[in-house]
Structure 1
């Protein structure tokens, strides 16, 4: 297992153990629907950015 895969695995493990689904959903619903949509968009964009950085430059 190379270092980038190990880092990605550690990142997802840290997310899974620190964020509980019920708390996150309750906070989103308390803040409102538009805030939830924006939060989902930001998280997906951040994950896309991280995955692309881990892959490295494409030829």
Structure 2
């Protein structure tokens, strides 16, 4: 396992342990449905970007 994958696992573990599901859902419903959809889209896009950067250039 290389250092970039290890750092990804550490980041995801820290994210999963500090933000519980119920707190996230409660915050989304307080802010509104549209804000929640945008927030989910941004998080998924950010994770996709990070994973693609870690994989490196594809031939």
Tell whether the structures are fold-level matches, with TM greater than 0.5.
yes
Q: How many corresponding residue pairs?
A: 59
Root-mean-square deviation (Å) = 0.7
Structure 2: stretches of 5+ with no match in the other structure:
none
Q: Which runs of 4+ in 1 moved over 2 A?
A: none
TM-score by length of 1: 0.93
Structure 1: stretches of 5+ with no match in the other structure:
none
Higher-RCO chain (CA-CA 8 Å, sequence separation at least 6): 2
TM-score by length of 2: 0.93
